[in-house]
Structure 1
Amino acid sequence: MVDSYKTTYFLKQSEENRKRSLGFLFQTSKQENELKNISEAITKLDSIYESLDKKIASYKTAESYKKEEYYKLIKGNDIEFDQETLFGNEGIVDLEVKYKKYTDEINKIIDFKQNFSPKEYQKRNKLNYIENVLKQENLLNYVALKNYINENTMSLLDKEYRYLNNKQYVKSFILEKYFNKVSYLEKEKVQYNLYQDYIKHLEHDAYNEDTKKIQEICNKIFPEKTKSLLEKLDELLLIQKMVQVNDNSLQKILENRNTIHYEYHQTPELNDKGMCPYCGKSWESTELDQKFIETESIISDLMNIQSRRAMELKNQIKKAYIDPMLSIIKEKSENLTLIDDEVLATIKQIANAKLNIDHMYKLTEGFRFDDNINILELDSNGLNLICNKVKNYIESKTLVSRDLYDVITKLNTVSFSEELKFIKKYLDDLDLNDFSLQIDSNPQKSLLDLKSVTRSFDQKLTQSKERFKFSHEKVIDLEGIYDFYFDNNSHRFEEVTIDQITKKKRYIHNQYKWKLNKKVSRIEERMDVIQSMLVEFGKFKKVYGDEITSYKKEMIERIKFPFYLYTAKILQNYQQGFGIFLSTLKKDDSIRFITDPTTDHDAMHHLSSGQIAVISLAFTLAINKTYNISNNLKFLVIDDPIQDMDSLNIHSFIELLKYEFSREYQIILSTHKDFSAMYTKYKFERLEGNGVKVINVQNLLHKSIEMSDD
């Protein structure tokens, strides 16, 4: 397949690019790739060599290595740059990084030594410490209360407030004298409840309903009168039953008479006759009514006589038996020792607890109970009121107030030993006893006393700050050098001198130079190896290059003549039928197309596009003819070869194809002009006869589309 556009593009390239493209045409691509790899390897080795050479140039100085005796600069600390062996097997870059790190640290220490003052640093620390103390309210309170924060005093305070915080102790103090009377008080309570039950039954008027209970009570109070009382009660019961029966009968008679009387007056015919409705006797109307009233009165009197008898008997029982018994029982009940149930339960509970309240007597010394108050007459609320009075009295007698006791309790769990050591050491003019509360219960110490003492201590500490003023420039240590290298110790700081640090810096530098020289020697050895490799690779490159150039030149020499002949046949109107020469340089495989063997000007620079198209076709046909690319498949396909040719060149080109290639090749030409197609067919038919065909590809395409649509 000959693509005139691509072939023309090949010819228009520079000589160097043509040379590269020939590798494909002459099948030297594999060898040229190997040559390219060799060239790239040489380039990389050259780059490495130059880089190493520059490094060596920068590392090599006129300064020679001097051996420096090792000594330890910072005693007691394991510092990295203070080791005897400073550098290991790291590369040069890491070596430089480590060396810079060490020298930077040494320079920082030198600068620090020149500007730092341990004395000023100590002043600053003391001042900071004082300011910290001033911020610690607990520390100020601790100093003020230190006399109270000891085992004995705390034990005393705890005991006092244990009594105050636990009401059981106070109640035990109040109720102690009743602990051995619990059994007696319980019995009295039982007896009182029994008497109250007796009173309830005796005061009940229905004696006949409580006969057994009244008999039981009488046996307890008047056993000698029990028999007569029972007789009276039985008689009363009998009368009450009779009264009940008679009363019911008489009441029924009265009701019936009233009904008859009412009906009588409602019946005029009976009333007019004057007949008694009860017995049938004739009466005057007024007389009948009078007799009715008199009879009703007699029946009522009969009912009242029986009831009065029962009432009289009941009064006799009450006066002779019930009232005397009630009087005796109430008198006995009043003589009992009574106590509130909750108070009694409290006495039993505290008595069983067996609390030790010996110290309570000391705390309550001078306390007097109100003479008008009987403890046994109090309920639980009254007992609590008494407890609160006792607690208030005890609290007024304690060493410290409750709120101050709370402060002491909290401080008892912390320690300020280090802070107190500092104050005693650096503020030796301060006597902490001057700022401490003394143990004295008269008067009782309170929070006001504490605040007064701490305020004085605070003022004294504030005044002490003046003596610790310092120079800020002399205490700058942003990187903690004083702590890390000298353990905040002024003696260790003074031990290390600037000269010693400078000597350590020289030791580090010499160690670095010694290690660097060893690294440079190794680099030079590697450079020698690289140089040897470059020489060998150069030899390989020359051999490959010479062989490829020689081969290409040989190939070009073989196509020179057919190329010259084909260009001469086609370009009839150029140089009077002379062809184009192929030329190669002696030491190169670049191709030039020249019109005159005596000059080296490339013809591509002054030929027309049609002439360049002819040369490209001639060049491709010459290669095909010379190297017989395929023996079994001889197809020659040329895409629109005559589009840029004039008529004479078209004729010459067709003649060339007809006589040089048509007998051995199946030729396929394409064109977009009908005339060119018909002319080419005509020329080939004169030689081949009917073996030439013209195919309209566009018509075939349209037909295939129509068939697919159907």
Structure 2
Amino acid sequence: MIKLGKLRVENFKSFEDSFTVDFNGNDLLILDGPNGFGKTTLFDAIELCFTRRIGRILSTDRKQKNSHLLKNKADKETRIFLELIEENNTKVVVYVSIPPNTSKDDNKAVNCSVSQILLKEWPTNFTENVQFSFFEGQSLNEIVGNDALENTFDLFNYIQQEETCHFLKISESDRHKKINYLFGTTKQNAEKEQLQNIKNKLSRKLAQIHENIEKLSTYKKAFELDFDKEFGQPSDRKDIVPTGLISKVITFEPKNSEQIGVYKNSLHDVLWISKNIDEFHALEFNNLLNYLCENRIQELKDLILVGNKSSFSNILKIEKHVSWLNKLVKKINEYEAFNKIAPESPKNLTTDVLSQFISYFPSLVSNYALKIEDYFKLQKELGSYQQILNKISQSREALQQQYQIHINNDVNKADVSCPFCGDVKLTDNQLWIEYASQTKVFEGLKSDSLTKLEDISVYLVDEFISKCINKSLSFINKYQQYVGLLAPLSSKLITEDRWEKMQKIKRWLMEHNVSFESSILANNAKINEDELRIKLSELQSNIRRNAKAVSTEKSVDELKKALQFYGLSVTESLIKTFEDSTIISNEDIKQDLDYIALTELHSNSSKHRDIILKLSNLDKQKKVILNKESLVKSLFNKYKKQIKDYEKIVAKQVAIPFYIYSSKVLQTRPDGNGVFLQSAENNRENGYLRFVSNLNDDHDAWNTMSSGQLSGLVISFMLAMNKVYPTKLSTLLIDDPVQTMDEINLASFVQLLRNEFPSSQVVISTHERKSANYFAYKYQKNSKVELINMKSRRLS
């Protein structure tokens, strides 16, 4: 028999430090003391070791929590050690733990679980870094002899303070499911469920076959009606062969209905063309007009620009004019650039500007060669001082000119500030008098070379540069009028390839009497991009107005596709083959259409046979599945009956001790009898467990008994289960039973425990000292009893 040994908790709920209790050697251990000193916490620790959860914890919401429900300090590891003893030796040590600093998600009540490890022996050192010796080979369920330990621990070994009636709260069928493994029918129930699944699958398969048969039968009837309507009775049909004129019809071997549809629809289009040649040509013509307007934009633009030219040699002449104009425009641009760099006054003349004019106007240089030579010579002779003085003089003159313009434009002027020194003058005349006076001072500072250089600069600007500017202006005024011809002429400058494409469009328009002459530009006409777009739009509209009226909505592309599909072409009013130009008549096309229709008939006949074959196969499948379903149903019902009969026998084994124990514990009942246990009596009912007051009552005890009686009932059922189906774990944990039982029940209960379960280890908690003393008094005669006051133990 396995009993509890030592229990050690660390950082668990209200226990911050380690706390150890030794259950070993005691037949009865009583935990007493006021509420709040950890009695139920120790029971929670034991339950956690066996089931890895606390059954009474409920998840009231899905929100994340800042603290863990089972930890005292969040940053410390929580550890619980529970020793299991067999014949005064350690059988195994259950070790559960919760790591430090758990996440907010782990702190949810729904996630309150622990990791469980089995150890070989009780640790001698509980430091965090110590290495434990692990137990291997058996699970905890195998050790205690309870395969459903997690689900039945609160039924066999533990009755909780708040959840005394937990087993009664669940439904009657759920009670049966919770303990049905005790009946020894686990394997048979699994086989029964397997038969149930097979039976359900066969039923679904049978329903699917019924549905498929119904669909195919409906389709078969509709198909037969359409078939006879289109082709008549078999006696009305005759042998039809292809004409042999269209090779694709001769070699036609249909693979599916879609392929037949393509052949048939394409040949119907060919027949329409044969019957409506003129309208087909009209469709072709309209399609060409539309194609021309949408896909030959460049050719139409070229027609507008150079459509009046008789040959490509005229385009080559335009090329010569364009070349001359390009040179002319380049020359004008160069002259305009020189006009912009010409100095506004002699003082602004520089060697760089003069050099550019000399380079561009060499024909004028010879008359001023000496002066130009002196200018460059004097520029080299000037020292840095004179050069600075010269630049200051140039800057003063430029500033004076700009400031004069500013004063003239200022209508509200009063006082005038000097732009050089900032002094305020009464009038602008006074300002310029002083400016002239200061200029004389600067002039006196100049050297002879600088003075001579200024004189030469005046001469060169007034004579040489002035003549250069006059020459450029004369050229610009003479040829500026031709610049506007460059863009229009350049647009007419097309390649020979573009000329040929334009001529092809032009000839086609003329052949089909499409008017376009009004859109062509005259020889010397100018046109910009916007005007060209307008001209193009007018030409496109004019071309589209020549479209021919048609009465069909057929697509010319689809009709041409049909001709190409069969290798045919339309020449004037005849349809011919590509290969040998054989003429195809309406009768030929109709005969080939009849042949394709006959081919479709044969294909549909095959489809009809396929439908009949599928229906036959479905009927065979239906018979096979019906036989199998009947066999599985028979097996399932036999399994169900045998399991029910056996479970009734086993339930009676529990019912007798349960009746006896409940009659002793519930001595305050008026009739003095125990409680009856009922289970399913016939095969139609699902398994259930019901507690009733008497044999004629069919109401469950949960609805007829008081809370004290229900507590006694659950305790009685727990004792009965341990009597009939004992496990290796012979420990009974009862958390404060006297809270819901009166003293008469308690006396009977203690007597029942002492006499019926003398070898079991009983751990009870109570908050009443007299109840604790009563338990101890009743047990101490022949048993070892230990009473632990949790208040004194925690405070010491």
Q: State the TM-score, normalizing by the size of structure 2.
A: 0.44
Structure index of larger Rg: 1
User: Which structure shows the higher helix fraction?
Assistant: 1
Q: State the TM-score, normalizing by the size of structure 1.
A: 0.48
User: Which structure shows the higher strand fraction?
Assistant: 2
